[in-house]
Structure 1
């Protein structure tokens, strides 16, 4: 039909060490959010329970820390998406990135020219109806670069 659609990509990052990020400036989720929002066509970013979390009480959302027989620390839930207080907690980091529909439509679109006169725009050529298939490796790469940056910052401040 010459139209386009958007969608959501979910990213899960496993085996992230605890302690990446900072509590005020340099929060890990803010770094990931900035990286994802820098990708073309991205209109939204949420991590952990995100917007769904507002419909729950704090007692339902808190990620309680526990220790196993070997002293390994983990949480009983992962509502925070692996990041608490701006710092990775050792659980899987997960987030979602929302992509808008492509603006280039293969159908007539009424608009105006640079003088304000009505015109009709009709795009030509090959245009993707959805960016999601092409965006998955971009989200992966941006997440990897962001975590590597946080890891290097962590090592540099611990010297």
Structure 2
């Protein structure tokens, strides 16, 4: 299953992003980790407008340089490496999603895990929340001059399967590419043990290329659910 299939997703996602932009909704994904080189989990610490300023699509120039060097080292060894992409959705209106079948975070997870090489999905605090107490994790609602919002956003902008108006943020883990330029033991079509060495051009790390794919799948999912919630037919 070639990653080239994602070109159609990027086209559809680009169109969806144009529609969402008119609604005041922005979607930004970025490379937050490659191998053991990682950014802080808090996306608010970074200028997300700088994501496209380097080839690894990382909003921290210093960390981006380290990531580039690591990828170059891995490539020289004929190997591959994985990482994590973080995605942030700002401006999503309250009430998008379903409370039971079709929870918004569930369909976002399905969309992300449908991308080639994606192996993990977590929204909000994700796996980090398991060591906390409910009193620490609960996002408290408050009213500020009639505008209701939460004082924290551990849930990642979605509660009970429905958007609550806060930023939606999640992380997607991508495995190292399976095709490596080293000999590997395998089995041929007749069941005999043999070795395989790949040829041709293969990416040592898919993360930089996967960033726009994550944005595209997010855009199509969010727009789809806004249309469903508002009974919009195109």
TM-score bracket relative to the smaller structure: over 0.9
In the alignment, structure 1 segments of 5+ residues that lack a partner are none
Q: Which runs of 4+ in 1 moved over 4 A?
A: none
Superposed CA RMSD in Å reads 0.9
TM-score, length basis structure 1 = 0.96
The Cα shift of 1:132 comes to: 0.4
2:127 is the alignment partner of 1:38: no
Structure 1 counterpart of 2:213: 138
TM-score, length basis structure 2 = 0.66
SS at match of 2:230: helix
Structure 2 counterpart of 1:25: 101
Match of 2:123 among 39, 42, 47: 47
Aligned mates of 2:221, 2:187 — CA distance in 1? 41
Bigger relative contact order, structure 1 or 2 (CA pairs below 8 A, ≥6 apart): 1
Structure 1 counterpart of 2:4: none
2:203 is the alignment partner of 1:111: no
Structure 1 counterpart of 2:225: 150
Deviation readout 1:67-126 (Å, 9 max, x if unpaired): 112x11110000000000000000000000000100000011111111221211010111
In our comparison, the structure showing a higher alpha carbon Rg is 1
Larger fraction in helix: 2
